[in-house]
Structure 1
Amino acid sequence: MNKQDLIIATAILQAQLLKKIDQHLSVHGISFSEFLVMHFLNAAPHKTMRRIDLAESIGLSASGVTRLVNPMVKNHLVEKESNPRDARVSLVKLSETGANLFKDASASFKLSAESILKPLDDKQTKTLAELIEKLL
């Protein structure tokens, strides 16, 4: 497989993975993108991040993360906060409701990940992880 075909195959694989993961997370009423938001907020100090840092973490533009986060605010999964040090900087915080949903959705995500990677043995999984890390 040449490099161009490898990139195309990787894009197709990504689309298929997202579809499978979204199916598992849909029972919780969230998408994988929303799961990623909660994942990064859950890991952040005080479960809070600057909107721009959150956008960078999940690979979206600032406006893209705004479009993703706004419905999450309406559903009480995250909260908007103002930055006491700089009013121009907006913060996003994982709400208690969001933290509880994230805990439940994480169990579904773990099962999904295990199912997706089942064809690979431990050595292949480790090699794949190393290769992806190198490309990132």
Structure 2
Amino acid sequence: MAKLSYTSDELMASHDYARPHERAGYKLHGGFLADGSYESPRVLHRWPAVKAWQGELTAKGWPLIDATVQLLKCGNYPNISQERFLLSHGIGQTLWDSLTITGVIEARGRVLCDIEAPDFQQIIEDDISQTCTGHLHKGLLYA
């Protein structure tokens, strides 16, 4: 049976990077493993945990909800002509906000680090200690 319970330290653990992810003198997100592949931070145990929790849900007959980048696939807003118009009037923040999907998600998702996640076990009758929801207040939301 797959491991389903994790400590805060495990949820925050990163791989031992062979080299940091740096460009133009700036330290960036994550790092590179010995084989040269990029790895996000804090996923040493988190990815295996998510996969185990997914497996447990599907084994119990629950469908997984699509939370992939497919949710973000839609036309750009503002579109190119609208962006040119905004830039011509000195309004450039929308351009910076839309440069990358990762940038947008990280910037807006950063606020999650400042939110103290509740312990949902207080309001859920079933045991959730071995679920993703049961780990939100243990650092998973921050990670």
Question: TM-score band, normalised by the shorter chain?
Answer: under 0.3
Q: Which has the higher contact order (CA 8 A, sep 6+)?
A: 2
Name whichever structure is richer in helix by fraction.
Answer: 1
**What TM-score do you get using the length of structure 1 for normalisation?**
0.26
**What TM-score do you get using the length of structure 2 for normalisation?**
0.25
